Amino acid sequence: MLWRILKKDLKRKKTMNIVLLLFVIMCSMFASASVSSIFAVTGGIDSYFDMADVPDLIIQCAYDSDIDEQAAKLPEVKSMKVEHHLTVLDSGCFTLNGKKFDNFTNIARLMNSSERAITYFDEDDNVLAEPAKGEFYASLIFTQDSGLNKGDTVVIRIGETELPLRFMGRFKPVVYGQSSTEYPYLMLNEEDFRKCEKDPVFKSWASKYLFIETDDTEAVADRFKDQRDSWCDTRDERKDIYLYDMIAAYLMMVISIVLMAAGFVMMRYTIGFTISEEFREIGVMKAVGISNGRIRRLYITKYLAISVIGAVAGFFLSIPLSSSMLENISMNIVFDKGSSMINGLISSVAIVVLMMLFCYFCTRRIKKLSPIDAVRCGQTGERFGKKSILHLGRSKLPTTGFMALNDVLSAPRQFIIITLVFALCILLVTSISVFSRTLKSNNIVNYFGIPDSDITVGDITSLEDVFAGKGMKKTVEKYNKLFREKNIPAEASISIGAQYETVKDGKKAMITYLITAGGDDDGYITDEGCNATKPDEVVMTRRAMELIGAGIGDRVKMTIGGVERELMITGSFSSFMGGGKTARICSQYEHDADKIDNTFGLQVKLIGDRSDEAAEKYIAELKMLFGSEKVFSNRETVEKITGLSSTMESMKQMMMILTAIVTALTVVLTERSFISKEKSEIALMKAVGISDGKIILQHILRFVIISVLAGAIASAAMLPLSSAVLDWIFSMIGDITGVTADYNAAEVFVLHPMIVAVTSVVCSALTALYMKTIKSSDTASIE
Amino acid sequence: MSVSNTVIEAKNLCKTYIVNKHQNNVLKNIDLKITEGEMTAIMGPSGSGKSTLLYCISGMDRVTSGEVNFCGRNITKLGEKELSQLRLDEMGFIFQQMYMLKNLSVLDNIILPAVSSKKNTESHRKTEERGRALMHRLGIDDVSSNDINEVSGGQLQRACIARSVINSPKIIFADEPTGALNRSSSDSVMNELLMLNRDGTTIMCVTHDPKVAAKCSRVLYLIDGGIVAEKVLGSFGGSETDLRTRERELSNWLMEQGW
């Protein structure tokens, strides 16, 4: 008998069952896709490193260093492989169809394919094939924005060498830097590599990488950490190069969780709604003596059928969604697709289980319904709370507007759920938009160690005097003189970081020291205390201080220029540099040339007019002056440093589309539920002479009200939430707090809420057309 | 009560439903005239087409063939929008179930047609006052701000009457207005309708109850979609004796029709 009732129910309540099925599909799709990406991201780097056979320790040293011989003698070293990298200092040495490359700022590194110490993968995640003579593979930093296509011939022209090479595709350099300020890598055939090796011009800044398997990582690392000309990273430390990818992935994870939550909220609403709609059937069943348990079983069986069908459909639909979610991240990382599929499958099964628990929870209402409900149309008269808050007679609103507002206020719970779903979607888009814009803003330039300036000359050759040991101050003077000669109203400055061992009470740590020549020593933002303006002063990040157990006012020791210095910590500051383990000392110091670790090039501060227009004008002049295209505004510089901005932009676009889809689905499904629920009222309104147009408008206006409300909630929550998200993300990158969020008011307060509002209006209008099928004469035949 | 102008005229009215390829002729060639100020009852066994006739001549349902003239205007040719306008401004409806909008108070339900009408130029406040006056007249002014589930069936049906007359319609269509009410509520609702009729409102009412029909001036009897008999009772004086006489007369007539 129950089966017969169920069969009839599925047939009779086709629309509501389809509505529920769509929500289950949506939920299962988002859950499956997000769980796959969550697993892929959290365990992704580890499994990628396993696939690539990344060993315990990686040491970078000078090309002709003997560190590899020293390491080989250590008893802790189980095995060691060595890779030699040659360098091409300027991107202009590469040409494609006669045009010089200008898409990267750093030194390009050439690798020998037959010397691979670890496994590299191509862009399709296959193990990288051996390039034949005259062929090469390149990393993303080399290929992006270059117009390079497979089969194109790139010519390396440097010194006496001219080497034409055919591009065979992109490869993922696993343990080498991924952000756009890192080195681009080219994988060459051994013969081509050896040809370059013969020309000494390829060997300036050339290096050697040791890949060490060891029983005692700490001991080997300690042995080489203090060695001049070398950097030592454990496998875990190397994972930091994927920090920006991980941030993007975590953001994607947050998006998935929110979308999944939205799906569940809507599903719960739909189940609750379908049960409340069935008060008459439930009442009649109770009246004839069917037990609560049996009635509940009936509904749970129905939802089990729907959830199984929905979960299976959702799982298959999640496969392309999951791929698109991981698309940006998988540019650099190889994901284990097999386990990702299994995770998706598990999550789909979890959806079915969750659905069942959900149904059990939602069907509690059955207990409350009595046979009286069947008789009294669900209105037992026990509820005496006021429903109508507004009064038509006292309202200044047009009737349709009043009716819509009154509907929303009379059933706040159901509308609040939809409002919150909309607000969450808007908030997600705005948060990503704010993050993306902040990443490009001048607000964070300082945190990258870039002094107050307007333009950056990113061509590393502009600092060759510094690398040659001629000093930062002299280089700055040279450029200031040049600017005067060329009538460019500007001052030059250079900010460079270098790692020095710092000691406090015997506690040692490698800390990145920033020195800026040409800037104002007292012009930097400190979080606490004051800037280091004297030779015996230093400001440090909290993270750096923690490393050596120091605080403001303490004295630390470091050696620079061959002299041991005792410096007093005068304050703390925030920095993205050196993983937040950073210090700043005054401009009287010069770095040891061999320790120079990072720089963003030459900074140019305009004197007088510092507008964007002026910057644009002088950028053009400086490009001519330096013979390089790598002259950027500060905004572009930060964008290039993080490389996250474009990912964020594409995430934002994706989120906007997803928001529109979730809004559309929510509106279509809830509006369809409303029509079904309010069939008698619609018929009545038609019977008393209210036109179709006005009733449709009333329904549209409900969603407009919800959208406006959601927009207002999202706008109010946007700034505090964005600041919290920014603090969380920036604390992962460096030691940063209190970054001011940068946002485009028109985009955040108008465009994003408008997406939801416009989608709501269009979808509710189209769905509301269905009410045309309800006739005024239906008034008499509705239950 | 003046009996002069024709409010409703149906000519050769047919209504056919096709269910599972089976043709069901619900109304067959009905000719009918309702004049201004009349109070007409439509009676007949279940399934005879009483409600369908009411909905077809009020423009709530489309006819299959034939013509329905409302105050000389053929409403079968009108579009949905014009029909809505007509129902809003010129007609009033009362149903067996006391349908009202759940999200509005009783008073707001009553004044809804008035504030929705373009014909109504008065302020909302003024309309509200008019609604209250109407409720007072119907004896339900104490429930004006109540929700619809806080009032009794009789009160709710009187509220429905108030809603049906708020726009001073030319005719009120009532589909079993007392069908869901107890005797005392039923009497009170019928008295209100009689009062409205005495004030000049034409009323057409579908009923199963001879007591209700006895208060009407004319009774039409429908069988299988056709009007088979008509009984003119004349105006009801309002006295208990008159009512009993009319009831007896009507019962005899109904028995003749096979009731």
Core vs surface per residue A357-381: b (16+ CB within 10 A) or e: ebbeebbebbeebeebbbebebeee
Mind listing the pLDDT tens digit for each residue in A640-674? 776 666 777 777 887 888 888 888 888 888 888 88
Mind listing the pLDDT tens digit for each residue in A93-139? 899 988 888 788 778 999 999 999 999 999 888 999 999 999 999 99
Mind listing the pLDDT tens digit for each residue in B191-210? 888 988 998 899 999 998 99
Q: Helix H segments across A335-398?
A: 337-362, 365-368, 371-375
ipTM metric: 0.76
Q: Which residue has the tokens 């042995």?
A: A223
- pLDDT of A67 reads 86
The dihedral through the CA atoms of A406, A411, A415, A416 has a sign that is positive
- pLDDT of A287 reads 65
Instruction: Give the domain extent around B200.
Output: 6-256
- CB-CB contact of A692 with B80 (8 Å): yes
- Assess if residue B1 is contained within a domain: no
Is A692 close to B84, i.e. CB distance below 8 A? yes
Average the pLDDT over each of A124-133, A297-306, A578-587, A695-704 and give the range with the smallest value.
Answer: A297-306
- pLDDT of A591 reads 87
- What is the residue-averaged pLDDT of chain B? 88
Instruction: Provide the pLDDT confidence category of residue B2 given band limits of 50, 70 and 90.
Output: very low
Instruction: Provide the pLDDT confidence category of residue A306 given band limits of 50, 70 and 90.
Output: confident
Pairing of strands A507-517, A582-584: parallel
Mind listing the pLDDT tens digit for each residue in A375-401? 555 444 444 445 567 777 777 788 889
Is A780 close to B86, i.e. CB distance below 8 A? no
The residue of chain B nearest to residue A691, with distances taken between CA atoms, is: B84
Instruction: Provide the pLDDT confidence category of residue B37 given band limits of 50, 70 and 90.
Output: very high
Is B104 close to A406, i.e. CB distance below 8 A? yes
- pLDDT of A338 reads 67
Q: Is B37 exposed, middle or buried (0-12, 13-18, 19+ CB in 10 A)?
A: buried
- Assess if residue B222 is contained within a domain: yes
Across the interface, which of A407, A693, A780 has its CB nearest the CB of B51?
A780
Could you tell me how many helices (H) and strands (E) chain B has, helices first?
Answer: 8, 10
Across the interface, which of B93, B104, B113 has its CB nearest the CB of A388?
B104
B215 CA: distance to closest CA in chain A (Å): 24
Higher pLDDT, A708 or A284: A708
The residue of chain B nearest to residue A677, with distances taken between CA atoms, is: B102
Max mean pLDDT among A19-33, A224-238, B184-198 falls in B184-198
Max mean pLDDT among A183-187, A329-333, B238-242 falls in A183-187
Average the pLDDT over each of A73-82, A248-257, A378-387, B210-219 and give the range with the smallest value.
Answer: A378-387
| Residue A427: closest CA among A254, A666, A247 | A254
Mean predicted confidence (pLDDT) in A296-306: 80
- What is the residue-averaged pLDDT of chain A? 82
Is B113 close to A393, i.e. CB distance below 8 A? no
A381 shares contact with chain B (CB less than 8 Å): yes
Task: Give the span between the Cα atoms of A104 and A459, in whole angstroms.
Answer: 9
Interface residues of B toward A, Cβ cutoff 8 Å, are 51, 55, 60-61, 80-81, 84-89, 91, 93, 95-97, 99-105, 107-108, 111-113, 115-117, 124-125, 127-129, 131, 145, 147, 149-150, 163-164, 175
Residues of B whose CB is below 8 A from A694: 116
pLDDT at A545 over 80: yes
Find all residues with CB under 8 Å of B207, minimum gap 6, and list them. Answer: B41, B42, B43, B176, B177, B178, B179, B213
- CB-CB contact of A432 with A652 (8 Å): yes
Is B113 close to A391, i.e. CB distance below 8 A? no
- pLDDT of A380 reads 43
Instruction: Provide the pLDDT confidence category of residue A780 given band limits of 50, 70 and 90.
Output: low
Is A689 close to B89, i.e. CB distance below 8 A? yes
Q: In whole angstroms, how far apart are CA B99 and each of A710, B153, B157?
A: 33, 11, 9
Q: Which residue has the tokens 């003046």?
A: B2
- pLDDT of A272 reads 73
Mean predicted confidence (pLDDT) in A339-367: 75
The residue of chain A nearest to residue B130, with distances taken between CA atoms, is: A393
Mean predicted confidence (pLDDT) in A167-183: 79
- Assess if residue B221 is contained within a domain: yes
Mutate to test the interface with A, among B101, B130, B166 (most CBs of A within 10 A): B101
- pLDDT of A383 reads 42
Task: Give the span between the Cα atoms of A316 and A319, in whole angstroms.
Answer: 6
Domain with residue B66: its CATH number is 3.40.50.300
Mean predicted confidence (pLDDT) in A413-424: 86
Average the pLDDT over each of A254-263, A499-508, A619-628, B111-120 and give the range with the smallest value.
Answer: A254-263
Residues of A whose CB is below 8 A from B108: 388, 391-393
pTM surpassing 0.80?
no
- pLDDT of A4 reads 66
The residue of chain B nearest to residue A684, with distances taken between CA atoms, is: B99
- CB-CB contact of A735 with A575 (8 Å): yes
Distance from chain centroid for Cα A417: 27
Residues of B whose CB is below 8 A from A388: 103-105, 108, 147
pLDDT at A215 over 50: yes
Which tokens in the block code for residue A752? 């994003």
- pLDDT of B79 reads 86
Instruction: Provide the pLDDT confidence category of residue A619 given band limits of 50, 70 and 90.
Output: very high
A665 CA: distance to closest CA in chain B (Å): 26
Max mean pLDDT among A14-23, A100-109, A266-275, B111-120 falls in B111-120
- CB-CB contact of A561 with A568 (8 Å): no
Across the interface, which of B91, B111, B149 has its CB nearest the CB of A379?
B149
Residues of A whose CB is below 8 A from B128: 391-394
pLDDT at A609 over 70: yes
- Assess if residue B152 is contained within a domain: yes
Chain pair A-B, CB pairs under 8 angstroms: 117
Mean predicted confidence (pLDDT) in A201-221: 87
The residue of chain A nearest to residue B124, with distances taken between CA atoms, is: A393
Is A381 close to B80, i.e. CB distance below 8 A? no
Instruction: Provide the pLDDT confidence category of residue A437 given band limits of 50, 70 and 90.
Output: confident
Find all residues with CB under 8 Å of A415, minimum gap 6, and list them. Answer: A408, A702, A706
Mean predicted confidence (pLDDT) in B141-169: 87
Mind listing the pLDDT tens digit for each residue in A734-773? 667 777 788 888 988 998 899 999 999 999 999 999 888 8
Question: Domain locations in chain A?
Answer: 66-228, 459-629
- pLDDT of B1 reads 40
Indicate the number of domains in chain B.
1
Task: Give the span between the Cα atoms of A393 and B145, in whole angstroms.
Answer: 11
Is B104 close to A392, i.e. CB distance below 8 A? yes
B197 CA: distance to closest CA in chain A (Å): 20
Q: Which residue has the tokens 């690398």?
A: A467
DSSP characters over A260-280: HHHHHHHHHHHHHHHHHHTHH
- Assess if residue B16 is contained within a domain: yes
pLDDT at B97 over 50: yes
